[in-house]
Structure 1
């Protein structure tokens, strides 16, 4: 029974793990183990069959027949499996041999591929080179036919043919190819030859353009002889040219394209020189044709505008030349591509307008009226409203730069305006002879107002502020040099360069202060009154107020030559001082006594502020002196003098305030002036009070008299109440 169960389990194992031909090599090894086990089982089974079998009862024979049949079947299958296993072993051996051979073949194949890869790449490169050889050689072979044709070309009309354009294209392609393949043999030699061909073609095109322009000029010049009508002249000067522009443009475009598209810029300068020669020939011919028209126009304007103002003369010329420049631009764009010759075109326009510059300069140098010069600057300023890098500027002057063409006109007018402004200052401010009536405005003679109204600059300035009646009257009451200076600065403001205006304004402020000071000193010599000091202060305040509106940089750098040392040297030389100082050489004395260049920085704002402070101080001192009188000069009769001081304060301060209201309209300034007078008055009285107190303590002054003096605080309250009531009454 044990053997039966073992055989049964073995049979089950064999049945569930039957090998197939498609198993892997590892499975074959497992079958070998199984085969060994089967052999062992077979040997044991044979031993069982050969061993003596005990007789069993016949009744058991039928019981083991099924087992014996199964065992017989198992043996048959074991035999079959043995055959299969042997076959699998053979196949496994064959597969192992095939794998080994395949490995050797793969190694050999890789070695072959590695050794032949470089050969394949070289072969591919050679095939590509062979395929492109004809194309490459075409760039070199094109040279000889082009050279032969260019050598035998004599007709200028050759450049208009399609074959010429085809040769140009071949030259461009060959030059581009040689630039990209500098490693080719003789590439540099061929490049130089193709460059010569390119320049030869460009010269041929330039020769055709020049010849066409000369022919056209001869026709137009001959047609213009004896023509006086403006319409006919325009038709010949422009319509005749436009009719020939198409043929000309096709050739000039080819030449311009060569100037713009040549690679690396190696040939750009040579081609551009040829193109500029064509532009120069065109400009020269147009100048010859236009000069008679320009001279005729200028002579006509000189005749018709001989009695008119400079402004109208400039305006008429601006209209003519603006239209002329625009017509020339419209014409040249039909002859040349505009991109390359834009700068040259605007330079030519500038030269074309030089007769205008000369004629206008002559008229400007004869103009003496500042108002006319200012109006001329305003007329020309429309070309200079925008910065050169702004979009508005590019939109306005992208093609014709009229601002550059008319810039000399503006400069001439501005220079003349600056000169005449300086002369105006010299005549009407520096050389003004002040009088008492001219300085004390409120007593001015009626004839003075008439004189000021006849001054164009002052009249224009007063008219510009006529909407403010109070300000007009206040300006009319100013000292004449102040009024004229403010009117001049107002008129030329933003008419000249800001630095020049600042420098001019600085000198005007300085000259006004000097003139005011001279007039004030003149009045003081005859009578030193409150009105004169208030008038002086008023003019300084008005000058400061008006000048502040111009945003002037007051600091001014001045440079001048000081000859004072030279004067001393000459005096020393005349008196024999050199012999006395024999130890010093003549050269040293000459160096020390020579003229010196002095650089000085003057601040007109500081000068004006200092003058205002001095004027306020002088006014304050004069009022305080008038109020105090002799009330604090001595210590006698203190009570009576104290009463007199109070009466003076109550009588004089209202009168001073009334005069201030008449001269100084600004309430805040009046308040500060009254406050300064009060402070000075209280300071003087406090010093007097302290002195009397010390003498009373020493017994020099009676204590009863001292006790009658007004306390300082009481005096302060009195003045404060009086000042407040004055301002309230005035309000």
Structure 2
């Protein structure tokens, strides 16, 4: 408890103390100062300390209060107290060290006589001092806690006072709110009423505006300089406001004088549109007077093109205010593609637009007449000097290019791009009614009118070549070909040119050729023969009517797209039907002269020509006209269609009388397979079935006759030819008709054998009966 340094100090007293210090002991403990002095061992006398500074005695009073740092919050209070206590403890420890050192110095050495008397007193004094020193720290901590308690108590009191004040305020506010709720409701009602009145006033003011606008717009449109209004952008505002007023009057017919104001506003709109139409027409005439003179005075194609399109567009668009007003009127009734836009004043705007389009077309047709006249003269000269096909191609290309340029100019001026439409209210329909000499997107009649005189004097193949070239050049695009705006424009023109003009012209030319070369073809005896097949070509020994029918079918298929060249086409039907009738006339002629000239066989003649015609029809149906002129490549397909599934059963039925010869048509297949008879179709409406029926009839008649001859030769009847002679004669006839076509020969011989076997079995059945 005591430090060793305390024993190195001796208080200043009257008696001396002998201290003996051993010189030999180095690490021995020092002798206690409380030990009684030993006079024998004391070697030196310790003198009194001079000038010893004494500190003031420690007072028993509590330490002076220290103002601690105010806490920021309750959680910070603990850290503040703890830091303050650590500071006080360090200060107290330093002070205790000094006090203890001073106490040790001030201790007096007790006398031997009084040691026993004062020993207990000194011990009690020291005990009290030590106790007081040890409790000093706790006393300070107690004082600080008391101060903190007082501080917290003050905070609690302040908080309670604040809560009481807030409660009082809340009570006051609630009472005020209760007292003012009715007043607030009255204020809300007043605000709602004010809003309603303000809205009503606005509506009344708006309605009055629709009525008050009439006088102002009427004065402006009837003023002496009203025609100049169309040159400014403010004119569009007049149209918009007038249109809105008309809509308001039409929407509120029950308002006072609504009908009168509606009529007057409509009259004002008509007046404004008339001023715009007149202004734009006058502007076009001014531009035309300058451009037409320059075009007529020059002979250069490039200069004419620059004047007709570049310079004309620049002069027209120079009046940007007028052009903008025209575009607004047109877009009020048509969209970007020229489709009609529904509106209350559509009739007014559409009529004005149509009149503007008409004036524009007249001006363009007049300005470009020297150019179109030059193109027409060039076409006529090339048609005479070169050929009609080349001249027609060049003329069509020039017309397409000029039409595309006109289309671009029209879009720049009127801000619409009319497309093909069947709607009678569209811009396309409006432009189509204006037939001019200039080719446009809706007017392809000038091309057809120019081509008609030349094509009517040309042969059928030239017409087909021109029509086929237009189809392949502009309608059938390659997969890797880019579809530009010019290509799309040419497609539209080509579709309309073909559909409305050239296809009807071509069909009419085919009708005339069918009548001339098939229906009215003379049947001379020289043509009623079957010659040998040349170079293996099946049609080389066909009848001239059949050959011409094949040529017509081929030309029509090349000139037309597949959708028009199928058997449902009126032209295809007419070719097949008239060819069948002509071959039937030839068959009747052969049967009439059979006794005098048994060659050729009428049935074999019909089989030969009908098979060739049928083979060509099959090729056209599958859309594949082959360049090879070999034998019938589709004969297997044709034979499967013609032949019933069971030839033997069908021959037995026919020979037994269960079926009539006239009913052996396509229904025979259904009868043999399903046992049901399908209704016969009108042969006039279906030439293909008529062709199949005739083929079946002639194949049956031919195989039945030669089957009977083979059975007679095998039976050895008197007067009958030998089997070898019959077979040789059959081979000669078949080779003459179908030389180089082993498939046809084999099928016919097989059918003859089946028919002969059926006749033999039927004869045996009758003999047994």
TM-score bucket of the superposed structures, by smaller chain:
0.5 to 0.7
1:651-666 residue pairs with structure 2 within 5 A?
Answer: 652-653=726-727, 656=730, 660=734, 663-664=737-738
Separation (CA, whole Å) in 1 of partners of 2:541 and 2:398: 47
Q: Could you say which residue in structure 2 is the equivalent of 1:510?
A: 580
1:233 matches 2:304: yes
Give the equivalent residue in structure 2 for 1:714: none
Corresponding residue for residue 364 of structure 1: 455
8 Å Cα contact 2:389-2:462 kept in structure 1: yes
Cα 1:440–1:422 change in 2 (3 A) is closer
Q: Distance in 1 between matches of 2:731 and 2:234?
A: 101
Q: After alignment, is 499-508 or 511-520 more displaced?
A: 511-520
**1:179-224 superposed Cα distances (whole Å, 9 cap, x missing partner):** 6666654455444444433333322222211111111222223334
Q: 2:200 aligns with which of 100, 121, 129?
A: 129
Choose which of 394, 410, 419 in structure 1 pairs with 2:502: 410
Q: Distance in 1 between matches of 2:584 and 2:484?
A: 45
Over 3 Å counting, the alpha-carbon distance change for 1:132 and 1:624 in structure 2 is closer
| Counterpart selection for 2:405 from 327, 352, 356 | 327
Question: Is 1:545 aligned to residue 545 of structure 2?
Answer: no
Picking from 677, 681, 702, the partner of 1:619 is 702
The one of 373, 376, 383 equivalent to 1:298 is: 376
| Residue 292 (structure 2) pairs with residue 221 (structure 1) | yes
Q: Secondary structure at the match of 1:228?
A: coil
Equivalent in the alignment of 1:727: none
Alignment gaps of 5+ in structure 1: 1-101, 450-468, 553-598, 635-640, 695-731
Tell me how far 1:476 sits from its aligned partner: 1.5
* TM-score, length-scaled by structure 1: 0.58
Partner residue, 1:493: 557
SS at match of 2:620: coil
Query: Deviation at 1:536?
Result: 4.7
2:229, 2:525 → 1: CA distance?
A: 85
Residue 425 of structure 1: which of 517, 520, 541 is its match?
A: 517
* Equivalent of residue 381 in structure 1, options 450, 460, 471: 471
* Inter-partner Cα distance in structure 2 for 1:687 and 1:475: 38
Q: Quick one: distance in 1 between partners of 2:476 and 2:262?
A: 48
CA apart distance, 1:243: 1.8
Do 1:430 and 1:515's aligned partners in 2 also have CA atoms closer than 8 Å? Answer: no
Aligned counterparts of 2:286 and 2:729: Cα–Cα separation in 1: 94
Q: Distance in 1 between matches of 2:391 and 2:346?
A: 45
2: CA distance, partners of 1:322 / 1:312? 16
| Separation of aligned partners in 1, 2:415 and 2:701 | 76
Question: Deviations along 1:292-351, whole A, 9 cap, x unmatched?
Answer: 322232123212321333222221221221122112122222322225844434554665
Match of 1:673 in 2: 748
Residues 442-457 of structure 1: matches in 2 within 5 Å? 442=532
1:287 equivalent in structure 2: 365
Q: How far apart, CA to CA, are the structure 2 residues paired with 1:538 and 1:613?
A: 12
Q: Does 1:244 align with 2:301?
A: no
| Secondary structure of 2:453's aligned partner | helix
Are the counterparts in 2 of residues 260 and 268 from structure 1 also a CA contact under 8 Å?
Answer: no
Q: Is the Cα–Cα contact under 8 Å of residues 310 and 363 in structure 1 kept in the other structure? A: yes
How far apart are 1:426 and its partner, in Å? 3.4
Q: Distance in 1 between matches of 2:754 and 2:342?
A: 84
Does the Cα contact within 8 Å between 1:536 and 1:615 map onto a contact in 2?
yes
Whether contact under 8 Å (1:440, 1:535) holds in the other structure is yes
Provide the TM-score with structure 2 as the length reference: 0.55
* Distance verdict in 2 for CA 1:378–1:140, change over 3 Å: same
